Each structure stands twice: as structure tokens, then as C-alpha cells.
Chains A and B, each alone.
Chain A
């Protein structure tokens, strides 16, 4: 089983081939998606007709490439906007939460902590639906009582942002709390003894210490927001983020332009992963 225990050659070989098969299983779908973005055919399927850049650069129907497909490009823009706002908001709240749970003692703290974890165990579809129901209850109430129509509470990007924010905050809080727990509070006290106010001490000593966690949580939140489907599906209005736009096209059956978008997403994720590895490395002992 482990290297220090002798095992038969047959066992070792079959174990290794199992692990190899597993990784083939893991990688194949992605390789296939990427490969077919270069296939010179109208549908992402066999036979292989040769290499083309059309699905990236094609100028018009029926071979509209990604960089000329305005609907897809717009939806990428929408996704980026939503992801930036969601990430910023959830990082801000998560930092507050981390200080609250790591520094303060108050009655009902454990209860609040369990509540804070709840968004992780609520299925995304239900989270989306519940926010949809509640926001339209509030919107209807305003309409009946005051005759004001609040557009933001109807399905649309504001609700999408709120829905994603609702569960991303929990994830960010867990990451930032874990880092804050390792912080030696005497450093902050030293800064205050040297004349800094509490806020200055936090801003100049504690927050820089939290930076790797803030960055890591930010990358995760950004990606999860960008890729979120379940919650978004329930709250989306007329402006579709990328996942929704891709889903609609997938169901209709689309040209390999979707493969090209997928490759773009893979490259984007890989860059983010590399950057986050690079930023977080010095922090590790």
C-alpha cells in the first residue's frame, strides 16, 4: 500500500494504471472542448475537417467568431461587472465578519457562526428562488403602499449580484478568518503602544498581514461569481451574464464559437491561478 510496505508487482501496476485512467477521465473533456474550437466545421463534432481560426476571428454568419460576436462579448462584460462588484462587497463584509468572530466575545456567537455557515448548505437554486420571492414581496408592498415601482427588486443584475454576494461572503469569511486566527495580536498592541490609534494599527499592521488571504478569497470569489449558474439562473433579467448566454446557446445547439469562449475561460482561469500562486507564495513559511 505505502512505499515502505512491499506489495506485488501486479498490484503496483494495476494501481498505477487506475490512477492514470482517472487523470485521463479528468482531462479529456477539457482537451476535447479546446480541440474542437479549431475544427473547420459548423458543429463541434466529428469528422475532423482541418484546422481553422474562424471560431475566434470569423467575421460574419455562419462563421461568426468569438471576437466579432457582440452578444457573447457583451455577456462577458456583464459577468465581469457583476463579479467585480460581488467580490468587492463580499471581501468587505467578510473582513468585518472575520474580526467579529476572531476578536469579539458575545452571547450567541456560536449561533451566529452556524447561521453564517448556512449559505453553504442551501442549494443555489433555492437561494436564488428565495431571494426572488422575498424581493418581489418587498417590491409589491412598496407598489401597493406608496405607488413606487422599485426596478432594482425585480429580476435583473442587482438581484444577481445580491444572490451571489449572499453565499460568496461565507466562503470569503472562512478564508479570511483562518488567516486572522494566525495573527499575533501583540503586534497590533505594539503599534498602539507606539501611539497609533486602533484603526491605524489595524490598517497598517493587521490588514497587510491579511493581504494574501484577501487576495486568495478575492480570486475564489471572482471565479465563483463569474461561473455561477444556479443562483444566477433564477434571478436573471434581460441582461444575461456569460454562463446564462452560453447555456441558452448550448440548448439550441451552437457553432464551435462556444468552444472558443470555453478556451478563453480556461486561459483566463489559468492566468488567475498562476497570479494567485505567485502572490501567495512568499506568505508560506
Chain B
């Protein structure tokens, strides 16, 4: 090849590079970075007259002085953590069963069965729980039929209903990473643990769980974030008593048209979720890029 054609290839190559770089930069700056910067700016201003704004921390002080906002925030965070832990506890034995106890076809079948409900919209799944839990619903009917209750029982619109819905919705995001990491654990390591005299509990604690840690962590992070940012499940299953923080954001933006306050709430929720994700990664010494991919 002559030198000129080499050079030509090079410039063509550089042009190609810029053409590849431009769209991603446009996407990230116009749809992710600038909107969030703008949201910070909006949250730091106060309307003094029509179309006139002044810099102020008022929206943030309102959050700390108004107990309703503050309580909703803490409540959302605590319930999200509880839901994440419960999802992990429920999903772990099932994932272990799929990854380690079963083999061949039943294993693939059960894994697909696990994924199945999540091809259907979250709305439909929540609707299913509403039909089950409501006063005229199936569980109430079953309790009466068995004589365990003598009148219809309302099981909707309380914290337990919200919790059931959140755990149900999050299950997939826990089971998939758990099955994947447990699958990569060599059975002979477990056998060796027993051969060396370890009890089931001991083998679980010092061999299986350390190996599954990356899966546990990425599952927990995704579930926590989805739960914290969930709007549908708490609203539909919790009704008026749900007090979820995303509802506050929605109310400020859409119902009250107080965008400044809503933006401040959005930033606070974003900070909370980033903080907990960061803490989770720090505690288990995982890297963000690895957990996400």
C-alpha cells in the first residue's frame, strides 16, 4: 500500500471517530446532563413575581422544616431497604434451587418460568394483586369460604400490600443475577467444603455466599433503585395512605404546579439513591461498571 492511501485511510478513520462520538455526546448532554443541571438550577430559585426568580435555598429548607415531606422521604427509603432485603431472602433459595439442585431441561424450564411474569407490564401485575387483595377479592373470599373470617376483609391500602407488590415486581431483577453467579460456582467446591467437615450453614456462609456476592450486590442495587423510584405499585396498592416520595414529586409538578419544590425533591431523591448505591459498592468493594454490565 502506498503512503498516500494510508494517510487517506487515517483521515477517513478520524472522521469516522467524530461521527461516532457526536451522537452519544448529543444524547448524553441534551437528555441527561443538561436536564439535570437545569433541575438543580430550578430547585435553587424562588418565584418572587410572575417570571421573576431569585436565588434561594427555600425549597430545601421547606423539605427539612415540613415534617410530612421529611417523614415521607425517610419512610420511602426504609421501606425500599426492607423490600430489597426481603426480595433477596425470598429469591436466594429459589435461585440456588434453579442453579444448583436442578439440571438439564427442568432447570431451563423453571428459569424461563421465573422470567415469564416480567414480560407483562408492571401495571397488569399490580392489577392482579388488586383483584386478589381487595375487599371483594379472592383472598378475602377464600378466607370466608374456609370460615377464617366472617365478613369481607380489606387487604388493600396498607403497608403490607405495598410491600407484597414491591417484592413481586422486583423479583426478576434479583433472580437473574443470582442464578447467573451461582451457576458459575463449581459444585466440587461445595463438596470439598463438606468433605472437610463443614456444616451446611458453614458451607453456605464461607463458600456460596462469598462467591455469589457480585450477583447479590447487583441484584440489590437494581431492586433498591427500582423500588425507590417506583410510583405505580405504592399508588395503586397503598391508595391514599401510601406516602411514597415519588408521589410527592408528582404532586408538586403536576397537581400543584410548584416546579421549584418538585425539582428540589427530585434532586434529594437522586442524591439518596446515588448515595446508597455508592455505599453498597464501597462496602462490598465492587466496581460500578462491572455491576451494571
Contact = CB atoms under 8 A, between A and B. Distances in A.
| Dominant secondary structure of chain B at its interface with chain A | helix
Given A46-B136, A118-B32, A262-B124, A1 B190 contact: yes
Given A97-B23, A116-B24, 16 more contacts: A2-B190, A15-B97, A18-B94, A26-B168, A28-B128, A32-B128, A32-B138, A96-B20, A121-B277, A124-B229, A125-B269, A130-B266, A227-B121, A229-B232, A262-B120, A269-B119
Contacts of B101: 1-3, 15
Interface stretch (A57-65, A99-107, A205-213): A99-107
Nearest to A226: B121
Nearest to A202: B16
Contacts of A123: 225, 228-229, 246, 269-270, 273
Contacts of A44: 131
Interface in A1-44: 1-5, 7, 15, 18-19, 22-23, 25-30, 32-33, 36, 43-44
B256 to A, nearest CB: 14
The 7 closest A-B CB pairs, nearest first, are: A123-B229, A29-B128, A134-B35, A130-B35, A45-B136, A269-B119, A227-B121
Interface string B95-129: 01100110100000010011011011111110111
Contact of A125 (B24, B130, B171, B249): B249
A45 B123 CA distance: 18
Interface residues of B, number: 86
Interface stretch (B58-66, B67-75, B285-293): B285-293
A243 B253 contact: no
Contacts of A142: none
Nearest to A92: B23
A136 B191 CA distance: 62
A137 interface: yes
Interface of A: 1-5, 7, 15, 18-19, 22-23, 25-30, 32-33, 36, 43-47, 93, 96-97, 99-100, 104, 106, 110, 112-127, 129-135, 137, 162-163, 165-166, 169, 174, 178, 198, 223, 226-227, 229-230, 233-234, 243, 246-247, 250-251, 258-259, 262, 265-266, 269-270, 272-273
Contacts of A118: 28, 32
A230 B230 CA distance: 7
Nearest to A263: B124
B125 A1 contact: no
B93 A29 contact: no
B28 to A, nearest CB: 5
B231 A233 contact: yes
Given A227-B121, A227-B122, A234 B253 contact: yes
B38 interface: yes
Nearest to A90: B27
A112 B131 contact: no
Interface string B251-293: 0011000010011001001100110010000000000110011
Contacts of B21: 100, 106
Contacts of B127: 29, 33, 246, 250, 258-259, 262
A5 B236 CA distance: 46
A125 B76 CA distance: 14
A131 B35 CA distance: 5
Nearest to A270: B119
Given A5-B194, A262-B127, A134 B117 contact: no
Contacts of A18: 93-94
B27 A114 contact: no
Nearest to B28: A115
B24 A133 contact: no
Which of B32, B42, B100, B230 is most buried by chain A, counting CB atoms within 10 A of its CB?
A: B32
A150 B191 CA distance: 67
A106 B16 CA distance: 13
A145 B277 CA distance: 42
6 contacts: A2-B191, A25-B168, A30-B124, A97-B20, A134-B38, A166-B27
Contact of B32 (A19, A166, A273): A166
Nearest to A162: B31
A35 to B, nearest CB: 9
Given A134-B34, A229-B122, A5 B229 contact: no
Contacts of B190: 1-2, 5
